[in-house]
Amino acid sequence: MAEDDTDWKVAAKAVPELRFLKALVSGLALVMGLGMIAVVAMLWMRLNQPVLPELPSAIVLPDNAEVQAVTFARDWIVVVTDAGEVLLYDRAGRLHSRTPVQP
């Protein structure tokens, strides 16, 4: 029978750089696996967050208004409604300004 050169040990003896190449490929596979775990973990944490933050209970919206966006500033809470209005509340929940948005 002819000599079988597909065996890893025989090939490693014939070409010593293959051991280094094997270590590089194994390291790359390990880093890619850890990277995939990190990406999945970050997506899981990010997608578990609520879509909109909860409004404080002191804020009373106008009749038939649905919240489209909420921004919490240092002293103000800005609410954008589906009717195209921007409502400005203070931290106590009092409405200070009601501005229609121009398209």
pTM of the entire structure?
A: 0.49
At 11, list the tokens. 């090939």
H-helix or E-strand spanning residue 90:
strand 85-90
Rg of the chain in Å (alpha carbons): 30
CATH architecture type of domain 52-103: Beta Barrel (2.40)
Taking only the tens of pLDDT, the chain with its 103 residues reads 455 556 767 766 777 787 888 899 999 999 999 999 999 999 999 888 777 667 778 888 888 888 888 888 888 999 999 888 999 998 888 889 988 887 6
Task: Provide the pLDDT for residue 78.
Answer: 92
H or E element that contains 81: strand 76-81
